[in-house]
Copies of this chain bind each other. A is one copy, B any other.
Amino acid sequence: MSQYHPIRFVDVRLTGDFWRERLDTVLAHTIPSQHKKLAEYGLLESLKLPQPPPPLRFPRHANGFTVQVFWDSDIGKWIEAASYALSHRRDADIEAKIEAIIDDFEKAQAPDGYLNCWYLGREPEKRWSNLRDNHELYNAGHMLEGAIAYFETTGRRRWLDVMERYVELIRQTFGPGPGQKRGYCGHQEIEIALIKLYHLTGEKKHLDLAAYFINERGAQPPHYYDVERTEREKNGWETQRYPFPNYEYQQSHKPVREQDKVVGHAVRAMYMYSAMADLAVELNDAGLKAACETLWKDVMETKMYVTAGLGPSAQNEGFTWDFDLPNQSAYAETCASVALIFWAQRMLHLDLDGKYADILELALFNGALSGLSRDGEHYFYMNPLESNGMPHRWDWHTCPCCTMNVSRLIASVGGYFLSTAPDGLAVHLYGGISSTVSVKGTDVAVQETSNYPWDGAVRIAIDPATPLAFDLKLRVPGWCHGATAKVNGQAVALKPVNGYATINRTWTRGDVVELDLPMPPVRLFAHPGVIMDAGRVALKRGPLVYCVEEADNPGGRVQRYKLPRTADLTVEHRTDLFKGIGVVTLKASASAIDESDWHTLYRTAPPSEKSATVTALPYYLWANRGQGSMVVWLPEA
| Chain A contact residues, CB within 8 Å of chain B | 59, 61-62, 240-241, 300-302, 304, 306, 321, 323-324, 326, 328-329, 386, 388, 390, 522-532, 534-536, 538, 556-557, 559-560, 562, 565, 593, 595, 598, 600-607, 629, 631, 635-636
| Residue in chain B with minimal CB distance to A565 | B606
Q: A390-B321, A523-B606, A535-B636 are in contact. Are A528 and B301 (CB under 8 A)?
A: no
Min Cβ gap A353→B in Å is 16
| Residue in chain B with minimal CB distance to A604 | B522
With the chains together, A535 CA to B560 CA distance in Å?
Answer: 9
| Residue in chain B with minimal CB distance to A606 | B525
| Residue in chain B with minimal CB distance to A563 | B535
Contact B602 A531 (CB under 8 A): no
With the chains together, A522 CA to B606 CA distance in Å?
Answer: 11
Min Cβ gap A553→B in Å is 14
| Residue in chain B with minimal CB distance to A303 | B601
Q: Which residues of B contact A534 (CB under 8 A)?
A: 559-560, 562, 593, 635
Neighbour of A525 across the interface among B386, B530, B607, B636, CB < 8 A: B607
Min Cβ gap A538→B in Å is 8
With the chains together, A636 CA to B536 CA distance in Å?
Answer: 10
In the complex, besides A527-B595, A528-B560, 8 extra interface pairs with C-beta distance below 8 angstroms are: A300-B601, A302-B601, A386-B531, A527-B601, A531-B629, A534-B560, A534-B593, A535-B635
| Residue in chain B with minimal CB distance to A593 | B528
29 interchain pairs (CB within 8 A)?
A61-B241, A300-B601, A301-B600, A302-B601, A321-B388, A321-B390, A323-B388, A324-B388, A326-B326, A328-B531, A386-B531, A524-B602, A525-B603, A525-B604, A525-B605, A526-B602, A527-B601, A527-B602, A528-B556, A528-B595, A529-B557, A529-B595, A529-B598, A534-B560, A535-B535, A535-B562, A536-B635, A538-B602, A635-B635
Q: Which residues of B contact A631 (CB under 8 A)?
A: 531
Contact B240 A526 (CB under 8 A): no
| Residue in chain B with minimal CB distance to A598 | B527
With the chains together, A265 CA to B605 CA distance in Å?
Answer: 32
With the chains together, A328 CA to B312 CA distance in Å?
Answer: 13
Contact B524 A604 (CB under 8 A): yes
With the chains together, A559 CA to B529 CA distance in Å?
Answer: 8
Q: Which residues of B contact A565 (CB under 8 A)?
A: 606
With the chains together, A525 CA to B608 CA distance in Å?
Answer: 11
Q: Which residues of B contact A557 (CB under 8 A)?
A: 528-529, 531
Q: Which residues of B contact A560 (CB under 8 A)?
A: 528, 534
Contact A601 B526 (CB under 8 A): yes
Min Cβ gap A425→B in Å is 30
Q: Which residues of B contact A62 (CB under 8 A)?
A: 62, 240
With the chains together, A524 CA to B602 CA distance in Å?
Answer: 6
Q: Which residues of B contact A605 (CB under 8 A)?
A: 525
Min Cβ gap A302→B in Å is 7
Min Cβ gap A117→B in Å is 23
Q: Which residues of B contact A562 (CB under 8 A)?
A: 534-535
Among A536, A562, A607, the most chain B Cβ lie within 10 Å of the Cβ of A607
Q: Which residues of B contact A302 (CB under 8 A)?
A: 601
With the chains together, A527 CA to B324 CA distance in Å?
Answer: 25
With the chains together, A73 CA to B241 CA distance in Å?
Answer: 25
Neighbour of A326 across the interface among B304, B328, B528, CB < 8 A: B328
Min Cβ gap A309→B in Å is 12
Among A328, A527, A535, A565, the most chain B Cβ lie within 10 Å of the Cβ of A535
Min Cβ gap A543→B in Å is 13
With the chains together, A629 CA to B528 CA distance in Å?
Answer: 12
Q: Which residues of B contact A556 (CB under 8 A)?
A: 528
With the chains together, A623 CA to B607 CA distance in Å?
Answer: 31
Neighbour of A329 across the interface among B323, B329, B559, B635, CB < 8 A: B329
Min Cβ gap A125→B in Å is 21
Q: Which residues of B contact A532 (CB under 8 A)?
A: 328
Q: Which residues of B contact A523 (CB under 8 A)?
A: 604, 606
Min Cβ gap A212→B in Å is 34
Among A59, A306, A522, A604, the most chain B Cβ lie within 10 Å of the Cβ of A604
Q: Which residues of B contact A527 (CB under 8 A)?
A: 595, 598, 600-602
With the chains together, A562 CA to B537 CA distance in Å?
Answer: 14
With the chains together, A302 CA to B600 CA distance in Å?
Answer: 8
Contact A59 B241 (CB under 8 A): yes
Contact A602 B525 (CB under 8 A): yes
| Residue in chain B with minimal CB distance to A299 | B601
Among A525, A562, A565, A606, the most chain B Cβ lie within 10 Å of the Cβ of A525
Contact A603 B524 (CB under 8 A): yes
With the chains together, A329 CA to B312 CA distance in Å?
Answer: 12
With the chains together, A241 CA to B62 CA distance in Å?
Answer: 8
Among A528, A529, A530, A636, the most chain B Cβ lie within 10 Å of the Cβ of A528
Neighbour of A530 across the interface among B524, B601, B629, B635, CB < 8 A: B601
With the chains together, A603 CA to B602 CA distance in Å?
Answer: 34
| Residue in chain B with minimal CB distance to A540 | B604
With the chains together, A602 CA to B525 CA distance in Å?
Answer: 6
| Residue in chain B with minimal CB distance to A63 | B62
With the chains together, A212 CA to B61 CA distance in Å?
Answer: 36
Min Cβ gap A414→B in Å is 29
Q: Which residues of B contact A61 (CB under 8 A)?
A: 241
